[in-house]
Every structure is written in structure tokens, then in C-alpha cells.
Amino acid sequence: MTTNQLPSTFCWTKMGTESGEELSAIIRRKEWERQLGGGCFFWGVGQSLGENAKVAARDLASLRVVFSPMSSKPKAIDVAPSGVVLWNAWVDACGQIKPLPAHCFVTSRASLPSGRKKESHYALVCFSDSELVSQQENICISPNHLCNLKTNKPLGASQVTSIVRVLSRADETCAAKSYAVSFTAELRSPYCVQLAQPLLLDAGELTEIKAISESGDLESWAALVKCLRSLVVAETEWVQGMLDLGNADQPLYIDNLNHPFRCSELNNTSRSLAQS
């Protein structure tokens, strides 16, 4: 991808170490999620896009999301959080809580830097036909060449995810204040969702997630996802819902989690919802 091939409007998100996981491990398991979901994966973000993605998508054939590694060192709270939760549901436009697709696995810190319980988290609804780990886009993005779509103002230093408009098409080299592009995907309706039903993970489960993310394979990851996601299902009577992908007859995902799973290997004797 060259600079001139960047969409005039797109979603830009910066990624890094999160919930005690290094970026390479996160991308690896998101690729597994993409494969299990027939191309669909959910990417967790800390802030809502509001109506910006929906507004941008009205005038575009496809709303792209561009992923760039953060240039700064990760914060201590992201490297070694005091707790990690697994999100199991999303809130639709009517305020109804619906389960995330069975193959999706989104985690976050359980608390804010202040120590207060983290009350909200969000996810980008992404789709890609291409393997995430194989995409190496030959481009760098300078924030100075972008502005917020809604406000036309420069991007704030603390903005990690936003809908942006390109101001300049000049070629960029990877200078000190620019960001590389690792891979891209398509954002699909409803583009960005508020998450719900966080489940606090225990030390044994976090160890298992880390081990499989770093040296496992698709089958072992599918088994672990099925195990951990099933823990909350027994505690909640779900209202099964479908996400709108523009085709009423097309499901959001293909459920490929029909693998034997190893709940007996996980310490799930003491479960607690983080919000209880």
C-alpha cells in the first residue's frame, strides 16, 4: 500500500501490549479468531466511536480500519495489570445485551489506572479475507496529515482509535513522529460495539491463555475459547442475536468451534462476574 492508496476516510487504531499480553501474541490469536469466524474478528478498544463510523460508512463502499503499532513504551498497568476480564456480550442500539459470537475473545484490564473497576470497553467489528500476520503494508502515517472526521480538528495525542480524514497525500517516510501500518481490515456494521458481561479471569486461565497464544495452534486456541466462553453461558440466559452485515440472510460468523476442549485442565471452580 502506498500513501496515495490510503482511503480518504478510515478508522485508525494504534495497538500495543494490553492486558499483560505482548502485541505479537494478540495479533496471533486475532488471526486464529479471524479463521474461526470465517474472516470476522472483534478488536477490543478502550473508547467508543459514537456515530462517527456509521456516518462515515454512508458515503463509502467500504470503511477500512488501519492498524498501527504504538510508538511509545507500554504502560506498566498494561504490562502487568492487577486483573484481566473476558467480555462475553455486547449492547445493541436498543440497549439489549446479546452474546458475542462464540469464536470471539476480547479481554481488557479489570481496573482503571485510578484503581476503580473498569465499567466499559468496546470492540471494532472487523472482517478480512487476508491473514493478519502476513500483511505488511509499505506505508507510514503521520498524524499531522490527518484530522478527526467529525470535528476537522487535529488528532489528540491520547487518541488511540478514531475515524479520520486524510488532509495530505504527500509520500511519507517513517520519521520519528509517524506510524507504520501493520495490516488493514474492513469495518462492518455495527462497526463499533459496547461490550458487556465481563468475567474475571483467574491466574490459571491467564497462564493458559499466554501459553497457547505464544506457542499453541488453532485447534488448542479454539478449545480454550470454547471452554472460557462457556463458563458465563451457564450463568446467563442469552437472547441470541445477529449483527447486521448488510445481508439479512448472512450470519456474522461461521462457528468453527466444534473441537474437543479441555475445561478439566482449567481451574474453573471459583467463577465470578467482574460486575457482580
- Which H or E run includes 199? strand 183-200
Backbone angles phi and psi of 227, in degrees to 5: -65, -55
47-73 burial code (b ≥16 CB/10 A, e <16): eebeebbbebbeeeeebbbbbbeeeee
DSSP summary character for residue 274:
T
CB contact at 8 A, 126 and 40: yes
* Cell numbers at 54, concatenated: 456509521
* Cell numbers at 98, concatenated: 446479546
Tell me which of 199 and 140 has the higher pLDDT: 199
Query: pLDDT band at residue 167, thresholds of 50, 70 and 90?
Result: confident
Backbone angles phi and psi of 146, in degrees to 5: -125, 160
- How buried is 79 (Cβ within 10 angstroms: 0-12 exposed, 13-18 middle, 19+ buried)? middle
Cα gap 221→64, rounded to integer Å: 27
Which range among 40-44, 144-148, 183-187 shows the weakest confidence by mean pLDDT? 144-148
Cα gap 3→9, rounded to integer Å: 13
Q: pTM to 2 decimals?
A: 0.83
Cα gap 91→243, rounded to integer Å: 11
Cα gap 213→205, rounded to integer Å: 12
Which range among 138-142, 178-182, 199-203, 244-248 shows the weakest confidence by mean pLDDT? 244-248
Query: pLDDT band at residue 272, thresholds of 50, 70 and 90?
Result: very low
CB contact at 8 A, 31 and 130: no
100-133 burial code (b ≥16 CB/10 A, e <16): bbbbbbbbbbbbeeeeeebeebbbbbbbbeeebe
Query: pLDDT band at residue 159, thresholds of 50, 70 and 90?
Result: confident
pLDDT at 234 over 50: no
**Per-chain mean pLDDT for the chain:** 82
pLDDT for 44-65, tens place per residue? 999 999 999 999 999 888 999 9
Residue type, position 144, single letter: N
pLDDT at 176 over 60: no
pLDDT for 7-48, tens place per residue? 889 999 999 999 999 999 999 999 999 999 999 999 999 999
